[in-house]
């Protein structure tokens, strides 16, 4: 066989071994079919305690946190203003309802009085015709 074929077979064998697809002496200690190493996700020893401890406040670009806090404060002010406006509208509506109910009651009383007076008038006219 040529050197190229040997190189390709060697590369294929190394890929298969690193993927844990074939038995190899390096796999013998971890069991058949397992890769020869385990990836822990550690980058430059950060899991070993060399990473800085997490801070209480997340790190942002300068001014971003303050801008966010200003936006939140503006939003809260907007909500408070909307709530005050809603309460004001509700109070005005309640007052208008009271006025309407009062006017409606006065109208109904006047209508009843008119109907009674009209009935009396019609009765008087009927007596005169007799």
pLDDT (tens digit, 9 = 90+) per residue, 55-113? 676 677 788 889 999 999 999 999 999 999 999 999 999 999 999 999 999 999 999 99
Task: Tell me if 27 sits within 8 A of 45, measured CB to CB.
Answer: no
Reported as a pLDDT band with limits 50, 70 and 90, residue 130 is confident
By mean pLDDT, which of 22-36, 67-81, 113-127 is the weakest?
22-36
Same domain, 67 and 31: no
Same domain, 73 and 125: yes
Using left for φ > 0, alpha for ψ between -120 and 50, and beta otherwise, residue 49 falls in: left
The mean of the pLDDT values for the chain is: 78
Q: Domain residues for 117? A: 62-130
Same domain, 78 and 128: yes
The b/e string for 20-50 (b: 16+ C-beta within 10 A; e otherwise) is beeeeeebeeeeeeeeeeeeeeeeeeeeeee
Same domain, 81 and 128: yes
Q: Would 57 be classed as within a structural domain?
A: no
Cβ count within 10 A of residue 16: 13
Reported as a pLDDT band with limits 50, 70 and 90, residue 50 is low
């Amino acid at each position: 066989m040529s050197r190229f074929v040997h190189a390709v077979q060697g590369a294929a064998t190394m890929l298969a071994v690193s993927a844990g697809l074939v038995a190899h002496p390096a796999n013998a200690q971890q069991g058949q079919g397992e890769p020869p190493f385990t990836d822990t996700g550690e980058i430059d020893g950060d899991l070993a305690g060399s990473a800085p401890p997490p801070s209480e406040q997340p790190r942002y670009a300068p001014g971003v946190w303050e801008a966010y806090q200003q936006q939140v404060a503006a939003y809260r002010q907007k909500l408070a203003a909307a709530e005050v406006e809603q309460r004001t509208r509700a109070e005005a509506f309640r007052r208008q309802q009271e006025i309407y109910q009062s006017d409606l009651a006065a109208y109904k009383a006047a209508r009843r009085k008119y109907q009674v007076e009209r009935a009396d008038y019609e009765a008087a006219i009927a007596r005169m015709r007799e």
